[in-house]
Amino acid sequence: MQYQKDSTWIRCPICYGKTRTKVYADTVLLNFPLYCPKCKKETKVNVVQLNMTLSEEPDA
Ligand SMILES: [Zn+2]
């Protein structure tokens, strides 16, 4: 059995509340539509090695 101990719940970049999206240290998300149950909004983010950055995109 292998433990996935390096995991974290992604926090909403707007309200910093916990979302229901979990990532591991080896999870890579690109332009991921992160949904926050608190803001009820979707924010596009990138997550690489547990570091989240906002994915800027024009509203077209
Ligand atoms: Zn939020």
Q: Which residue has the tokens 């926090």?
A: 11
Number of H helices, E strands in the chain: 0, 5
Query: In total, how many domains does the chain have?
Result: 1
pLDDT digits (tens, 9 = 90+) for 27-56: 999 999 999 999 999 999 999 999 999 998
The answer to whether the CB of 47 falls within 8 A of the CB of 11 is no
Picking from 1-5, 7-11, 41-45, 53-57, which range would have the lowest pLDDT averaged per residue?
Answer: 1-5
Q: How far is the CA of 18 from the centre of ligand 1 (A)?
A: 8
Q: How far is the CA of 1 from the centre of ligand 1 (A)?
A: 35
Residue 37 domain flag: yes
Residue 2 domain flag: no
Mean pLDDT of 10-35: 96
Predicted TM-score (pTM) of the model is: 0.79
Q: How far is the CA of 60 from the centre of ligand 1 (A)?
A: 23
Residue 32: give the domain boundaries: 7-54
